[in-house]
Amino acid sequence: MSQLETAMGMLIAVFDKYASSDGNRNSLSKAELRSLLEKEFPNFISSGKDKEAIDQVFKNLDDNGDSQVDFKEFMIFVAALTCCCHKYFEQNAA
C-alpha cells in the first residue's frame, strides 16, 4: 500500500477503535471523543483534560446536532487540524 493509503487506513482504524468502545461503531460519544483527543492528540490538544474545552470541541464537531461525532465530522476535524499544521510549518520553514 502507498503511504497515503496506509494513512487513510490508520485514520479509519483509529476512529473505529474509539467509536466501538460503547458498542456504536458509527459515531463517537463525548466520552469516546475525550479519550481519543487525550490519547491521539496529546501534543495538539493542550487542554484535552479540561471539560469545558472538550465540550466546546464536541459542540463544534457535532455539525448535525445529533450529540454524536460521526466519521465525516471527525474527518473534517482531522483535515482542518492538518491544514493548520501545514500552514504553521510552511510559515516557520523560512
C-alpha span between 36 and 49 (Å, rounded): 11
Q: How far is CA 5 from the centre of its chain?
A: 18
Q: Which residue has the cell 516557520?
A: 92
C-alpha to C-alpha distance for 38 and 33, rounded to whole angstroms: 9
State pLDDT tens for residues 36-71: 988 998 876 665 456 677 788 888 888 888 999 999
Predicted pLDDT of residue 48: 45
pLDDT at 59: 87
pLDDT at 80: 87
Q: Which domains does the chain have, with CATH numbers?
A: 3-92 (1.10.238.10)
Rounded average pLDDT over 6-12: 97
Angle at Cα 39 formed by Cα 32 and Cα 61, nearest 5°?
45
For residues 45 and 33, give the distance between their C-alpha atoms in angstroms, rounded to a whole number: 12
pTM passes above 0.85: no
Neighbours of 16 (CB within 10 A): 12
